[in-house]
Amino acid sequence: MGELLFEFLICGMAAVFLMVAHELSKALVYKLIQRVAGNKRTYQSSVFALHHYIDPVGVILSITSSVVLSKPYMFRIRDKKTNLVLGVTGFLVLAACFVGSVAAIRSHAFGVSGMETLEGCGIGAKSATLFLQYLAILSFGMFVTNLFPVSTFDMGLLIAGVSSRKYLGIIRMDGVIKLIYIITLFLDLIHYGGYRFILFLV
């Protein structure tokens, strides 16, 4: 029981790390774009108020389905280019987390050997090993999740950056898209596919 709770804790920590990395990077890019454009608009909360990006539902989903959802920084995006840049930024950050964690696993960092064994000695090494393993699984799950054309996901931002008409189309289909996403989670397809893919890579 203790080992299971320990794994849940590390999984939750990896999920929180991904939420913050994903949303903070987009918020910083957004602020940079606004500054370059000369927009001096002020916001109620700082982009560095990291707790705003943490979604409790996302933490639960990370443990049950290996999928992470995060809370985006609340900003208004008026132009297509900004939407496009933020969507690309979100995907790049998740891809970097996935590639980095898989590379660390392949290089046996902290005593990790694949996805099923713990060779590290001591609580610190085991924590680092589990964190890398969960980071790989969860970053894959979060990347796939953001491929769904939901308005607030990275794919939604990309679509908004390409065509306003298509963006309105996915808003109208929002209920259907989310239903398909929920069915995908229920069938555990993202977790299974991600785990098999990572095993192939490492």
Sequence-ordered strand ranges (E) for the chain: 112-113, 117-118
State residue 122's pLDDT score: 66
Q: What is the pLDDT of residue 129?
A: 84
Tokens 């099923």 locate to: 116
**Alpha carbon distance 94, 101 (integer Å):** 11
C-alpha to C-alpha distance for 59 and 117, rounded to whole angstroms:
24
User: How many structural domains are present in the chain?
Assistant: 1
Sequence-distant (≥ 6) Cβ neighbours of residue 112 within 8 angstroms: 104, 105, 118, 119, 120, 128, 129, 132, 133
Side-chain-facing half-sphere of 74: CA atoms under 13 Å: 7
Please list the pLDDT of the chain residue by residue as tens digits (202 residues).
Answer: 778 898 899 999 999 999 999 999 999 999 898 888 777 766 666 888 888 999 999 999 999 999 999 988 777 677 889 999 999 999 999 999 999 999 988 887 766 665 655 555 567 778 888 899 999 999 999 999 999 999 889 999 999 999 889 999 999 999 999 999 999 999 999 999 998 999 888 8
pTM assigned to the model: 0.90
Phi, psi of 50 (to 5 degrees): -60, -25
User: What integer pLDDT is reported at residue 56 of this predicted model?
Assistant: 93
Domain span including residue 94 = 2-201
Instruction: Output the pLDDT for position 117.
Output: 54
Gyration radius (Cα) of the chain, Å: 18
Q: Which two tokens stand for residue 135?
A: 């980071």
